[in-house]
Structure formats: C-alpha cells, structure tokens
Amino acid sequence: MSRNLAALVALAALAGLVLQFIVSGANPALADPLARLWVLARFFTILTNALVLLSFGLLALGRAPSDAWMAGVVLSIAMVGIVFHLLLAPEVPLTGMTFWADLWLHTLTPLLAALWWLGWGGRALSLTDVPKWLIWPAGYCLYALLRGQTDGIYPYFFIDVGQFGWPRVALNIAGLCLGFALAGLVLLGIARALARGGRLARP
C-alpha cells in the first residue's frame, strides 16, 4: 500500500512538471526545450517537485530512502504549498492548462506527499535532522542568488537583490530558514506523537 501511494505521489509531481513544461513552451523565447528547462530550473517549486518525483519514485520501486530524507522531502514540498498560498498565489485566477499545472505543483503534490507521510512515513527522526532539512532551502537560495547575479533575474521577490538590497534579502532568507526550522520541529513533534500512538495501539 505504501509503495502504491508513493507511486501516486511521484506521478502527481510528474504531472505538474510536465504540464508546466508544456505551458512554458507557449513563450516563443522558450521554444527550445533546453532553454525552457534552464529557465524552469530557476524555481524552488520546480526543483522540489523534481526531488519529490525522484524520492517517491525510488520508494515506489522498493529502494526506500531513509526516514529523515523522506521527512525532509515532505517538509520541503509542504513549504512549497504553504509559501505559495500565503505569499505567491496570483490575485487573478489562472485558467486552462496553466491552472492545472499550478494546481499539481503547489497544491495536490504537497497535499498527497503530506498525507502519505502521515500514514506511512518512517518515524525514525531526531532533533539533529532539523538542521539537515535546512540544507535544501538554504542551498537553493545560494544557487538562486548566484544565478541572479549573472543575469539579473531573481525567481522570487523576497530574494530580489536589485529591489531590496543585500541586507534585506539576507534577512528574508534568514526568516525563510527560520520558518523551515519551525515547520521541521512541528513535523518532528508529529512524528514522535504518531510513534507513541502506534506503540500504545499495539496489543
């Protein structure tokens, strides 16, 4: 059951990525597939959905990553959904294929991944895992800033050095990492509560 549902999560991530790739092709400047991939790889949403596809795909094939790895992936994709709906969701409703790509990437895949983890995720987690879970978002911010310094394009407003300057961007990144850390502590607390509940439920 766990592997079947993991396959469903992987397919959800794949659906969102494929749809976004097709939608982006409507831009004449992105007609070249490689150029399109390079542009899409600028976004945390795209990279994290790709990470979900890889991790849950391995799980579905019986090559399960560690409990800490899967929890970190679920935390990252859940934060994709949370940050999008709190800060980045467009005011004007999307339509057509763009709507479906957005739905899969920012809502359905995070929700399915979280539901899988609540039901079947491993509980072998510790407090030392929380700092490790920050490597992905912090590493992404460094990557995005390096790309932005070369071409002047920043994928998210809160890391736009041209608009806010380095001190404000550094503060924004620190706030983002703090948010990840707090969410990681919540995830750790849920894992421990579920583990205790599982032990109490045994005859």
Residue 198 has pLDDT above 70, yes or no: no
CA distance 29 to 97: 19
Lowest model confidence (mean pLDDT) among 86-95, 100-109, 144-153, 183-192: 86-95
Domain count, the chain: 1
Cα separation, 58 vs 148, whole angstroms: 32
CA angle 41, 46, 47 (to 5 degrees): 70
What average pLDDT does the structure give for the chain? 94
Percent of the chain topping pLDDT 90: 90
pLDDT reported for residue 40: 97
For residue 1, pLDDT over 80 is answered with no
At 199 the pLDDT is 52
Label residues 8-17 b or e (16+ Cβ within 10 Å = b): bbbbbbbbbb
User: Mean pLDDT: which of 17-21, 28-32, 94-98 is highest?
Assistant: 17-21
Q: Which residues contact 4 (CB under 8 A, 6 or more apart)?
A: 60
pLDDT reading at 173 higher than 80: yes
pLDDT for residue 28: 92
At residue 134, the pLDDT reads: 98
Angle between helices 109-120 and 67-83 (to 10 degrees): 150
Q: How many CB atoms within 10 Å of residue 182?
A: 11
Which is more confident, 93 or 173? 173
Owner of token pair 């899409």: 40
Q: For residues 161-180, give the mean pLDDT.
A: 96
Q: Give the pLDDT confidence score for residue 91 in this predicted structure.
A: 81
Instruction: Give pLDDT, residue 196.
Output: 86
What CA–CA distance (Å, rounded) separates 75 from 42?
Answer: 20
Name the residue among 68, 43, 44, 45 with its Cα closest to residue 55.
68
CA–CA separation, 175 vs 86, rounded Å?
A: 14
**pLDDT the model gives residue 202:** 42
pTM of the model: 0.94
Burial group, residue 178, by CB count within 10 angstroms (0-12, 13-18, 19+): exposed
Residue 78 belongs to domain spanning: 2-201
Confidence check: pLDDT of 203 > 60: no
Contact 159, 173 (CB under 8 A): yes
pLDDT in tens, 116-142: 999 999 999 999 999 999 999 999 999
